[in-house]
């Protein structure tokens, strides 16, 4: 393979054989965009270019790629213990990591259930919520409430509470769920950070309670900041109001923090940053810096204790749930290394300090053609792009392709361009990125 072979030596048959996830396969295979290595905040493409990673992978690699401490931890672990059964036996790093995770969680979140991804975390949290009420003798509390534009991964539970129609449309009967309205109000367009208007939207939960009755509702699940649907920060007071209504009606509140936990908001969690404490927190992505797949569900002790108290004989399984790769030793090693770096290098404070520069730079794009909205929080940002006639999702795609040509990886999805900058991004990198985005959008037909 030559260094500048855009196909990295792949044959047509090899390219054809991989049914790629969430990808326009036919388009991709006509003109593949292949990454061959990565270091720090940059990928190296097969055609020999450096590409700035403006989404931290898929929101998962905030510490940049190839961090030496994570590489070393993974290498050592795979040599020492490559796999260990997740059921009925344990290995030390699983316990060391669970304790370490709790250091990042709000007070009282001290029990950690491991999964292999954010989607598994979502479904695990929904199952825990239903089973919790059943263990408490309230077996009618099964209904799940999500939110329009919510994203909770791709498994059946997650797409049922999720609020992105396209992710559910093809797949037939889902789990019974209802949805709150989203919080993306037209009057909040171009607001920096959290909008002031919209807390009242939480009161829609009262309507859903009137409809279904709280005696039938297990949980409400929301992302503190909706990520995948285009970085939608919560209106001031909205999450507090949801919390209050859940408390008043004995409904569990689940925060899906798969994107927001471990620094993206400039805080340990969205819960911390927005000052609202749920009952269950879902995590994944940044937990291992993306190096090895892993997720987890973190609960308050009273939830765990409910299962233990109703568990029957001590040798009996209290929660019939788990994955072959729960607490995978190599993932645990990557997780420990990642969280240690976040703590020792004070990375999350760094996110907080650079976030205003990002906000300022991103919002300079206001006024360019086709930009209908700009939203941001911490090191997450998004642009809503006006639909082209009859081609609602074309422009974001064209922008992302142009950006790739210019040496920047940004994500397009629906009508948005998303940015999730690496935690160590510099002001210079921010300015280069935003300038390139501006030039690209100006040049659109
Ligand atoms: N919950 C939330 C809140 C997420 O953001 C998942 C669950 C599912 O995680 P897994 O690991 O199963 O993918 C996610 C994932 C994007 C983008 O471009 C977002 C996600 C994944 C891929 C792309 O915004 N979120
Ligand atoms: N399908 C079959 C046939 C299995 O045996 C298993 C696990 O043993 C699974 C699915 C679930 O796989 P995982 O534990 O990786 O989620």
DSSP secondary structure of 360-428: HHHHTTTTSTTEEEEEEETTEEEEEEPPBTTBTTHHHHHHHHHHHHHTEE-EEETTEEEEE--TT--HH
Mean pLDDT over residues 247-276, rounded?
98
408 in Cβ contact with 49 (< 8 Å): no
Classify the C-alpha dihedral 157-159-160-163 as positive or negative. Answer: positive
Q: What is the pLDDT of residue 4?
A: 82
Ligand found nearest the CA of 293: 1
Q: How far apart are CA 417 and CA 395, in angstroms?
A: 9
Q: How far is CA 420 from the centre of its chain?
A: 11
**Residue of 20, 54, 115, 118 with the most ligand 1 atoms within 8 Å of its CB, for mutation:** 118
Question: How many secondary structure helices (H) and strands (E) does the chain include?
Answer: 15, 15
Q: Percent of the chain at pLDDT above 70?
A: 99
403-421 pLDDT, tens per residue?
A: 999 999 999 999 999 999 9
Ligand number, closest to the Cα atom of 118: 1
Q: What is the pLDDT of residue 107?
A: 98
The answer to whether residue 3 scores a pLDDT higher than 70 is no
- Ligand 1 atom with minimal separation from the 256 CA: 3
Q: Which domains does the chain have, with CATH numbers?
A: 12-66+346-442 (3.90.1150.10), 70-344 (3.40.640.10)
Å from CA of 21 to ligand 2 middle:
20
- From the CB of residue 183, how many other CB atoms can be counted at a distance below 10 Å? 23
Closest by alpha carbon to 290, among 252, 327, 360, 338? Answer: 338
Residues with C-beta less than 6 Å from any ligand 2 atom: 323-325
Whether ligand 1 lies within 6 angstroms of the CB of 71 is answered as no
Mean pLDDT (whole number) for 163-189: 95
Q: Could you tell me the maximum CA-CA distance found in the chain, to the nearest angstrom? A: 69
> Are 362 and 419 in contact, with CB atoms under 8 Å apart?
yes
- Mean of all residue pLDDT scores within the chain: 97
197 Cβ contact partners less than 8 Å away, ≥ 6 residues apart: 185, 187, 188, 235
Which of 116, 324, 328 to mutate to test ligand 2, by most ligand atoms within 8 A of the CB atom? 324
Task: Quote the radius of gyration of the chain (alpha carbons, Å).
Answer: 22
Q: Residue 355 — pLDDT band, cuts 50, 70, 90?
A: very high
Confidence of residue 275 (pLDDT cuts 50, 70, 90): very high
Q: Which atom of ligand 2 is nearest to the CA of 326?
A: 14
């Amino acid at each position: 393979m030559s260094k500048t072979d855009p196909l990295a030596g792949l044959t047509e048959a090899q390219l054809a054989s991989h049914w790629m996830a969430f990808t326009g396969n036919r388009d991709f295979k006509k003109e593949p965009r292949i990454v061959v290595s990565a270091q720090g905040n940059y990928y190296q493409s097969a055609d020999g270019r450096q590409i700035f990673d403006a989404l931290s992978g898929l929101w998962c690699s905030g510490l940049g790629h190839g961090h030496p401490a994570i590489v070393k931890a993974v290498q050592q672990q795979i040599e020492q213990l490559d796999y260990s059964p997740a059921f009925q036996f344990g290995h030390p790093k699983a316990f060391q990591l669970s304790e370490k995770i709790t250091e990042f969680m709000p007070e009282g979140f001290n029990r950690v259930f491991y999964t292999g991804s954010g989607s598994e975390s979502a479904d695990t949290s929904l199952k825990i919520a239903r089973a919790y009420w059943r263990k408490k003798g309230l077996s009618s509390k099964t209904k799940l409430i999500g939110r329009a534009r919510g994203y909770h991964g791709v498994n059946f539970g997650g797409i049922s509470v999720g609020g992105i129609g396209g992710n559910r449309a093809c797949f037939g009967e889902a789990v019974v769920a209802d949805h709150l309205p989203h919080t993306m109000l037209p009057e909040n367009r171009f607001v920096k950070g959290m909008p002031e208007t919209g807390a009242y939207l939480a009161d829609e939960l009262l309507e859903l309670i009137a409809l279904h009755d709280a005696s039938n509702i297990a949980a409400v699940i929301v992302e503190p900041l909706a990520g995948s649907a285009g970085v939608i920060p919560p209106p001031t007071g909205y999450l507090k109001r949801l919390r209050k209504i859940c408390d008043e009606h004995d409904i569990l509140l689940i925060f899906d923090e798969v994107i927001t936990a471990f620094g993206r908001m400039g805080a340990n969690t969205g819960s911390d940053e927005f000052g609202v404490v749920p009952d269950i927190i879902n995590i994944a992505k940044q937990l291992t810096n993306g190096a090895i797949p892993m997720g987890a569900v973190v609960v308050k002790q009273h939830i765990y204790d409910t299962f233990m108290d109703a568990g029957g004989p001590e040798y009996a399984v209290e929660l019939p749930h788990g994955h072959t790769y729960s607490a995978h030793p190599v993932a645990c090693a990557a997780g420990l290394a990642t969280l240690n770096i976040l703590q020792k290098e004070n990375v999350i404070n760094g996110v907080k300090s650079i976030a205003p520069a990002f906000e300022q730079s991103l919002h300079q794009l206001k006024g360019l053609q086709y930009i209908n909205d700009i939203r941001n929080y911490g090191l997450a940002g998004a642009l809503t792009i006006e639909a082209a006639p009859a081609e609602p999702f074309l422009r974001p795609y064209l922008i992302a392709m142009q950006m790739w040509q210019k040496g920047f990886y940004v994500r397009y999805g629906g009508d948005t361009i998303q940015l999730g900058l690496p935690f160590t991004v510099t002001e210079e990198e921010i300015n280069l990125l935003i300038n390139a985005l501006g030039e690209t959008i100006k040049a659109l037909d």
